[in-house]
């Protein structure tokens, strides 16, 4: 097929999957752990920590673009996937906020009872908390995956080599290259391919999303 032979769509899919999967999978684990700690553990100053995390959301990304680019350029990360992965792999503030609020519906007595039975906090998290908040995690995971997969601004800043670029940048370059030749079927084919991973993720987690919506509706 011309779509895969004459373009960088395959390398774009590979790079987008590397970034999206690594960021969302690892980041979801850290976000859920952080939300559990902020909601259920007795930490000194945890409310101040939570407010500091929320205050970071008020800083728009365009104000950080130039300082981040200079920093990543000095350490040799420009034109690699690292600037897209490392800064966000340790968690998502929006997910932490959402899961923390969701965890307030889990009784503290459940955690205390598990502690009395000798369970560690990690065991409580994996065996009790995760099954209870799985619908919320699935919903936030899909939203975050969609955001990372469709991200265009950060990849266009840091990625220059066509073989390193993510799929969204590849499609944008194809739009410039092939639109003048009126090769719209090729561009549309690449656009359809870019939607397939999001569709697959949604189909995998659709039951958890429906459960999350049903639980939310029943509490209102």
pLDDT band at 148; cut points 50, 70, 90: very high
CA nearest 31: which of 58, 7, 50?
50
The two most distant CA atoms of the chain are separated, in Å, by 70
Q: Enter the pTM of the model.
A: 0.85
pLDDT in tens, 37-96: 999 888 888 889 888 988 888 888 888 889 999 999 999 999 999 999 998 898 889 999
Task: Name the token pair of 36.
Answer: 């559990």
Residue showing tokens 């220059």 = 160
The H or E element that residue 81 is part of is: none
> What is d(CA 110, CA 73) in angstroms, rounded to the nearest whole number?
49
| Gyration radius of the chain's alpha carbons | 21
pLDDT at 219: 47
Give the DSSP H or E segment for 140. Answer: helix 130-150
Token pair 């410039």 is found at 176
Instruction: Enter the tokens of residue 138.
Output: 């699935």
Structural domains of the chain, ranges and CATH numbers in brackets: 2-219 (1.10.3720.10)
pLDDT single digits (tens) 165-207: 999 998 888 877 655 666 677 778 888 888 888 888 888 877 7
Please give the pLDDT value at position 216: 52
pLDDT at 99: 92
């Amino acid at each position: 097929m011309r779509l895969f032979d004459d373009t960088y769509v395959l390398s774009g899919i590979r790079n987008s999957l590397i970034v999206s999967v690594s960021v969302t999978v690892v980041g979801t684990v850290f976000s859920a752990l952080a939300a559990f700690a902020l909601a259920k553990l007795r930490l000194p100053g945890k409310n101040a920590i939570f407010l500091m995390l929320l205050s970071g959301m008020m800083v728009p990304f365009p104000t950080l673009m130039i300082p981040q680019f200079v920093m990543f350029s000095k350490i040799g990360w420009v034109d690699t996937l690292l600037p897209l992965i490392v800064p966000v792999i340790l968690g998502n503030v929006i997910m932490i906020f959402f899961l923390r609020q969701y965890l307030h519906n889990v009784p503290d007595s459940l955690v205390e009872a598990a502690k009395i039975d000798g369970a560690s906090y990690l065991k409580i998290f994996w065996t009790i908390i995760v099954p209870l908040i799985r619908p919320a995690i699935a919903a936030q995971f899909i939203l975050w995956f969609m955001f990372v997969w469709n991200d265009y601004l950060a990849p266009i800043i840091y990625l220059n080599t066509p073989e390193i670029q993510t799929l969204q940048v590849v499609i944008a370059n194809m739009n410039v290259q092939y639109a003048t030749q009126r090769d719209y079927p090729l561009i549309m084919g690449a656009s359809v391919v870019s939607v397939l991973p999001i569709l697959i993720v949604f189909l995998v987690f659709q039951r958890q999303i429906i459960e999350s919506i049903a639980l939310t509706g029943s509490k209102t």
